[in-house]
Structure 1
Amino acid sequence: MVNQFFIWNERLGIALPELNREWECYNDQEQADIVTRWEVIRGTIPDRVFALERLINTKQAQLNEEEDFETSCTINADIAELASRINDLHIWYRINQEIETRRHS
C-alpha cells in the first residue's frame, strides 16, 4: 500500500513521493506509512550523492585530458547534469523536515 504513494525517478535513482491529496487528507496510518517509507528512501540519498560525485570526478578527469572542443562541451554538459541531480537530491533530502513538521502539527 505504501508504494502507491511513491514513484521511481530514473534521473535521481530514487523513489519520490507522489501525494495526490493535501497531507491532512491522509489518515494517521497512511501518514505514518508515508513518513516511514520516505525515511528509508531518504537514507539512501547520501550514498546516491556520493556515487554521482564520483561520476563527476571521472568526467572532470576526462575533461582535463580531452583536446577535442565538441567532446569537451559534451563532457561539460554531462558534469552539469550530474551536478543538477545532486542539487535536486539535496532538496529532496530536506523534504523530510517539512513532512515531520506537518505530521506533528
Structure 2
Amino acid sequence: MEKYFVYDQRLDLHVPLKTIPWEKLSNDETKAIEVFWETERGKIPTKIKSLDQKMERIQEYLSKEESFKKACEWNDALSNLASIVNDLWLWYRIR
C-alpha cells in the first residue's frame, strides 16, 4: 500500500496520497485500497476519543495553573491536540 498511502506521524495514521490514478487501477487494486483505507479510517474515532481525554486533562491543569508561562504552554499543547482532532475528523469524512 506504500504506493497509495503515506504514514502521517502527526496523526499516527496512514492517509491516502492525493494522486491515486483510479482510472488506471484494476478492480483488485481498488478493492485492496478501499479495504486498507477503511481499516485505517476505522481507527480514527478511538484516536479522537483518546485525544479528547488528553485535552480534558490539560484543561483541568490549565484551570488550576497560576503561572502565566505554564498556562501558555498548556494552551499551546491544547491547540496542537485540537488541530490533530480537527484533521482526523476531516480524514474520517473521506470515503
Normalised to the residue count of structure 1, the TM-score between the two structures is: 0.83
- Greater displacement, 20-29 / 56-65: 20-29
Query: Are 1:36 and 2:35 matched, yes or no?
Result: yes
Q: Tell me, yes or no, if the aligned pair for 2:5 and 2:14 is still in contact at 8 Å.
A: yes
Deviation for aligned residue 1:9:
0.9
Read off the aligned partner of 2:90 and give its amino acid letter: I
Deviation for aligned residue 1:5:
1.8
Please give the residue correspondences for 1:13-32 in structure 2 after superposition, counting only pairs within 5 Å. Answer: 13-32=12-31
Deviation for aligned residue 1:54:
0.7
**Unaligned segments of structure 2, at least 5 residues:** none
Read off the aligned partner of 2:10 and give its amino acid letter: R
Deviation for aligned residue 1:4:
3.2
**Unaligned segments of structure 1, at least 5 residues:** 97-105
Identity %: 34
Higher helix proportion: 1
Normalised to the residue count of structure 2, the TM-score between the two structures is: 0.91
Q: 2:92 is matched with which residue?
A: 93
Deviation for aligned residue 1:69:
0.6
Show structure 1 runs of 4+ deviating over 6 A: none
Deviation for aligned residue 1:30:
1.2
Deviation for aligned residue 1:12:
0.7
In the alignment, the residues of structure 2 paired with residue 17 and residue 10 of structure 1 have an alpha-carbon distance, to the nearest angstrom, of 14
